[in-house]
A and B are shown apart, each in its own frame.
Chain A
Amino acid sequence: MSTGFHVVVCGSLVPDLLQTLEPVQGPAGPALKNELMLPSVLDPWAAHALFEAAHVAATVPGSKVWLVSLGPKAKLQQLMMSIAPKVPFELVAIDASASGFTDPVEVAAALAGAIEKIPTLDRSRLLLFGGCASASRDAGVTVALVGERLGITDQFLAADELTVSAEGTLTILERVEGGKYLVSEVSGPPCAIAWATGNLPEPPNNPQVGMLNMRTMMPALQKAAAVQLASPGTTFHSVELPKQERRTRIVKDVPIDEMAREIADWIKG
């Protein structure tokens, strides 16, 4: 491929996975307690998508990566400090709630609108990337919804591998039932790929990449359009933590044969 891909990654922030989360009722519906105070990370699957995008861009000359990220501007700025040194990309920021309780249709509309406004984006070379689900809403639909809005009819979900042949054919491995991969080929872009974990490790920090990214990030954050994500007609009747109902029995100071017999009987029973 002589012209390369234009890879747009949709990815936003989620609360640090090790944080304790507690739902509360906010003025606009359910929210997380102290949501704005919770430390955030780039959504794990979106992060994999970003690393895969950078890998594609590095291997196919002429490619470029954009990260379209929707979240509160201040939190996006904090997040970018940690992502910027990882891989080269240009940020497109949208100032809106990153809550998991927002409607994916509304989020997709905001993302697609922002992508359509990227001035130098060639939609015929577009690879739309994102996570196969988020660690917040966990719906697994946003990339497909954005893809539909952008008129992309070749879509893939839970991908772990993308290879590009010399002729430009894309081969995608998607996770399917039974721990197998579905192997598909598509003749070229545009296509949408929602990534599972992929196979790439997290890239090490590169200060030079960080400085390069930061030059475009601050202007992008400053001009981030504010979007109100409404969800008319949706009523949350309750949001609660699953009840911890297990009464754990601790078995210790018991001969190992006895423990093994109990476990084996339980497995067989």
Chain B
Amino acid sequence: MTMETILYLAHTEDDGSLSRVALETLTGAMGLHAQLPGARFVAGFVGGDVSAAVAAASGCGAASFYAVSGPDFAMSRYASDAAALEAICRASGATIVVAPATSRFNRAIPGVAQRLGGRIDTHVGGCSVEGGALRIQRGYYRQRMIATLTRAARPWFLTFDSGVYPQWDGAPVAVQAESLTVTLGDELKKTKVVGYKAPFASAQTIRPDATLLFVAGVGWTKKQADGQVHLEEAAQIILNVLDKSNASLGSSKSLVDQSSEGHNVFSFMSHLNQVGQTGSTPRHPKGLAACCHGEEPHVVGWRFIGERRAINLDPNCGWAQGKADVVYVADAFALIAKVSELL
């Protein structure tokens, strides 16, 4: 059995720090190092100025620290990120590369795996060591089934989603990072990052760090007991409960699809809010669904929600079949308005 070299990769945020998912993944990488006998552990960082990031991770026990930094690497750009990561991977001789599943790395790491002739598994939900060999768990068919697998090919790139490991918070120690020189030609600077833009929505309703995910389904736009549609009232109730609970807003596909088809739906909601089979799979500790069905394609978006509760007029809806902890059979308009009052 060959000795593994585990490389932990991270990039800096705009302020030079490490993101939460980067620190969570560091915990995972350290755990993997502890489980794999004889493995070497190294770390690599990319960013404009990586000194704060290296310091934050300095106590992780890595034998070597590599850095690619400078103004060309401050921004999230495929060509420069892939070049930097490739240099770190080659310099470290990594056989297992562990990285956080950030949008920046999700874009760059597959290309690095291709350049190095490796294999890649994303959205890794856990790993273990059996008989000295690494096994990982990841979902297939949008988390509708979970596989445990191992690969012989190296380097093996793994990206971890947020919420798999606790955030690492060790004390810093004095380390010296080896700075790698990566020169970018003009052909690698064709992409210019202009900046950030808020989605086409009237209010920022996506809060990844929120404790609660509130998922609004298409029922909010349907005719109510009086035979009328109450869109404005629904919008007010939803915004109110989001405001009072500081929750993040999710939505079902059927609701956001109405927007793209030109129907009158909520101005604060976009495709970015969509959870489920064709949306995101957020990892909030709590989730509350109102006016959603609980069928499998929708519930896959809830796979990583800790405590799940749902409000539905139909006691036989999909949520009532072992997918939610509690199902409240009630009118969501009245119940959510009342909850907002109590919050």
Give A contacts to B, CB under 8 Å.
14-15, 17-18, 20-21, 23, 30, 32, 44-45, 100-101, 103-105, 108, 135-141, 144-145, 147-149, 153-158, 160, 171, 173-188, 191, 196-197, 199-201, 232-242, 244-253, 256-257, 259-261, 263-264, 266-268
Nearest chain A CB to B303 CB, angstrom units:
7
Interchain CB contact under 8 A, A153 and B148: no
Interchain CB contact under 8 A, B309 and A266: yes
Binding stretch for chain A, among B49-57, B114-122, B220-228: B114-122
Nearest chain A CB to B57 CB, angstrom units:
19
At the interface, is chain A mostly helix, strand, loop or mixed? mixed
Interchain CB contact under 8 A, A157 and B272: no
Interchain CB contact under 8 A, A239 and B147: yes
Report Cα–Cα, A247/B104, bound state, in Å: 39
Interchain CB contact under 8 A, A267 and B245: yes
Nearest chain B CB to A52 CB, angstrom units:
12
The B26-57 residues at the A interface (CB cut-off 8 A) are none
Interchain CB contact under 8 A, A260 and B114: no
Interchain CB contact under 8 A, B327 and A250: yes
Interchain CB contact under 8 A, B206 and A144: no
Knowing A135-B142, A156-B78, A160-B271, the reply to whether A148 touches B114 (Cβ < 8 A) is yes
The B186-220 residues at the A interface (CB cut-off 8 A) are 187-188, 190-199, 204-208, 211-212
Report Cα–Cα, A144/B272, bound state, in Å: 22
Interchain CB contact under 8 A, B260 and A201: yes
Residues 300-343 of chain B, each 1 if its beta carbon lies under 8 Å from chain A, else 0: 00010001110000010001111111111111001100110111
Interchain CB contact under 8 A, A145 and B111: yes
A236 contacts which of B77, B141, B149, B245 (Cβ < 8 Å)?
B149
Interchain CB contact under 8 A, A141 and B204: no
For the complex with contacts A144-B111, A145-B113, A238-B148, 12 further pairs of A-B residues with Cβ separation under 8 Å are A21-B144, A145-B114, A153-B187, A155-B107, A174-B107, A233-B153, A248-B320, A252-B328, A256-B331, A261-B342, A267-B286, A267-B288
Chain A residues with CB under 8 Å of B188's CB are 153
Interchain CB contact under 8 A, A185 and B120: no
Interchain CB contact under 8 A, A181 and B197: yes
At the interface, is chain B mostly helix, strand, loop or mixed? mixed
Interchain CB contact under 8 A, A17 and B342: no
Interchain CB contact under 8 A, B192 and A186: yes
Interchain CB contact under 8 A, B141 and A180: no
Nearest chain A CB to B191 CB, angstrom units:
5
Nearest residue (CB) in A for B262 is A201
Nearest residue (CB) in A for B195 is A183
Chain B residues with CB under 8 Å of A186's CB are 190-192
Knowing A179-B199, A180-B198, A248-B327, the reply to whether A21 touches B145 (Cβ < 8 A) is yes
Interchain CB contact under 8 A, A259 and B153: no
Nearest residue (CB) in A for B162 is A177
B338 contacts which of A108, A144, A256 (Cβ < 8 Å)?
A256
Interchain CB contact under 8 A, B326 and A144: no
Total A-B pairs, Cβ < 8 A: 276
Q: Is B152 an interface residue (CB 8 A)?
A: yes
Chain B residues with CB under 8 Å of A266's CB are 286, 307, 309
Chain B residues with CB under 8 Å of A103's CB are 119
12 A-B Cβ contacts within 8 A? A30-B147, A139-B123, A154-B78, A155-B111, A180-B198, A200-B260, A201-B260, A234-B152, A250-B315, A250-B326, A261-B342, A268-B343
Interchain CB contact under 8 A, A235 and B149: yes
A182 contacts which of B193, B296, B319 (Cβ < 8 Å)?
B193
Interchain CB contact under 8 A, B338 and A257: yes
Knowing A30-B147, A184-B192, A240-B145, the reply to whether A179 touches B342 (Cβ < 8 A) is no
Chain A residues with CB under 8 Å of B204's CB are 179
Residue of B152, B188, B286, B342 with most partner-chain A CB within 10 A: B342
Chain B residues with CB under 8 Å of A183's CB are 193-197
Chain A residues with CB under 8 Å of B297's CB are 17-18
B140 contacts which of A138, A148, A251, A267 (Cβ < 8 Å)?
A138
Report Cα–Cα, A246/B315, bound state, in Å: 16
Residue of A30, A175, A181, A248 with most partner-chain B CB within 10 A: A248
Chain A residues with CB under 8 Å of B236's CB are none
Interchain CB contact under 8 A, B323 and A246: yes
A260 contacts which of B76, B192, B335 (Cβ < 8 Å)?
B335
Interchain CB contact under 8 A, A138 and B103: no
Nearest chain A CB to B17 CB, angstrom units:
13
Interchain CB contact under 8 A, A249 and B326: yes
Report Cα–Cα, A117/B295, bound state, in Å: 43
Interchain CB contact under 8 A, A242 and B140: no
Nearest chain B CB to A158 CB, angstrom units:
7
Knowing A154-B191, A183-B196, A237-B148, the reply to whether A263 touches B141 (Cβ < 8 A) is no
Report Cα–Cα, A227/B64, bound state, in Å: 43
Interchain CB contact under 8 A, A136 and B140: yes
Report Cα–Cα, A30/B144, bound state, in Å: 14
Interchain CB contact under 8 A, A260 and B338: yes
